[in-house]
Amino acid sequence: MGGLSKKAFQFNKAAKDSGEPHITIDSGALLFKGLKLTRGQEDMERLTATAIAKSYNVIGYDAVGVSKYDLSAGLNFLINLSKQSKFSWLSANLVRKSDSKPIFKAKVILHVNKLRIGVAGLTNMAAQSMLSAADGVVVLPWRDILPPLLKELKPQTDMIILLSNLSPKENRQIAEEFNDIHLIIQAGQTGNGLPPKSLNNTLICQTAKQGKYIGILDINWSRSKEWGIDKRGLLAQQRSALDRLNWQLSKYEKHGDPLQIFKNQPEKLQGYRRLLTRRQKMEKEIANLNQVISSDQRSDGPCTFKNRFIAMETSMPDEPEVSAIVSELNKKINAIGRAKAGISKAMHKTYTGWRRCRICHTKEAAAWQNTKHAKAYKTLVNRNRQFNIDCLFCHVTGISRKNAADAVSVSIDLRGVGCEACHGPGKEHIKDPKLNKLTARPEAPVCLSCHTTTHDDSFDYARDIKLVH
């Protein structure tokens, strides 16, 4: 949630900079990080999911697919949340057993200028494990759903988009079998965005998971409804490249015939001949393109696109309305955290705190105090998140994700990523340092338990361990 207000600002900026009509869609998996709510954090995670949906309302999303990760709090939670959503939750194959009617909308038709865009959603079959018998709901195979859905959509639309939570393999199968689907946006399977791939007149696209990038697809749509190469645009690029090449050649030819001037300078002569060969090849390509364009009698050219990914920038301003939603969420989560702090029974018996370590390791403790680890707890205080259990366990010492709820009750000396977070608990070490030695240099898994790709995608263990050790 922390970067959502900045993401909202970037969305607005991208739309304003473009000046073109647009739709904003998402394939899903946005509400929860795991398939089960974290024990002791259920209320916090439901509040966060609700705040995400409210933020999507503000951003102006048009449609979102239903993923198994959106069902982690149960089907009824998502149904109630969908009623508060200004955008459409889409799943054509999540249906009632009694009459096979979709629980959410199967499709929606969006109007962009005079273009009618049909958007449908498919949920992965694995979502069945998220449903209880009492829900009376089943996830149907996409092969049963798509043919009648496309038959209904085709005459009503100019373009069809599928929001898919299915596997990449299944998405390719769909593209191969149904060329009426012009665009498949699949839920992120990897940490990076994938450039669009064309298959049987279908583009398959994917943006990186966890919302770290915004995927923008600029589409020039024509009545041909067929993806192709913008030959006229390519011709303009080739002519521009030829102009640059001729300029390079003119520098060689400025004082006469380069073949004579550089006959005793083999490197320059070879460079000149390479440019001549490249010009000859480019002139041939331009002539061929001109011939293809002049022989193309179609009134409508192919549909073309440009794709780009915009990385989330922490330096961006916050969108005020979304920022207010996040701020209110933090207040509610902190209130829950304070209540848990009052009843926690965690004693942290095996940890001593950094002040006790300082008695024997004075220089090391002094150096540690100048690191970001020492100020880790304070960063949460500054953002009013010091009771947010989902953040807190990585900003204190002696707490793992498994017992994250205990993080709210640690002593003052354990607030921050202290000595024992990396080297291990020191209670027994103090009694007999030689017998109970601590880890001198933490292994990568210790660091990666908090420096995950979600929170620190630039972390490099071999490089960054030198900063603290």
Is pLDDT of 411 > 70? yes
Position 7 scores a pLDDT of: 83
CA within 13 Å, CB half, 188: 17
- CATH 1.10.1130.10-classified regions of the chain: 347-468
- CATH 3.60.21.10-classified regions of the chain: 4-228+303-311
Is pLDDT of 15 > 60? yes
Is pLDDT of 347 > 50? no
Least reliable range by pLDDT among 203-212, 293-302, 414-423, 429-438: 293-302
Contact 199, 172 (CB under 8 A): yes
Q: From CA 59, how far away is CA 38, in angstroms rounded?
A: 28
Position 153 scores a pLDDT of: 96
CATH 3.20.20.140 fits 347-468, yes or no: no
Report residue 222's pLDDT band, with 50, 70 and 90 as the boundaries.
confident
Position 84 scores a pLDDT of: 95
Report residue 142's pLDDT band, with 50, 70 and 90 as the boundaries.
very high
Position 391 scores a pLDDT of: 83
Helices (H), 160-304: 168-177, 231-253, 258-261, 266-295
- Helices 4-18, 42-59: crossing angle, 10 deg rounding: 10
Q: Quote the percentage of the chain above a pLDDT of 90.
A: 40
Report residue 169's pLDDT band, with 50, 70 and 90 as the boundaries.
very high
CATH assignment of 4-228+303-311, given 3.60.21.10, 3.40.50.10860, 3.20.20.70, 3.40.50.300? 3.60.21.10
Is pLDDT of 340 > 90? no
pTM score: 0.70
Q: What is the pLDDT of residues 362-394, one digit of tens each?
A: 998 898 998 999 999 998 888 777 877 778 889
Contact 219, 292 (CB under 8 A): no
Q: Quote the percentage of the chain above a pLDDT of 70.
A: 92
Is pLDDT of 343 > 70? no
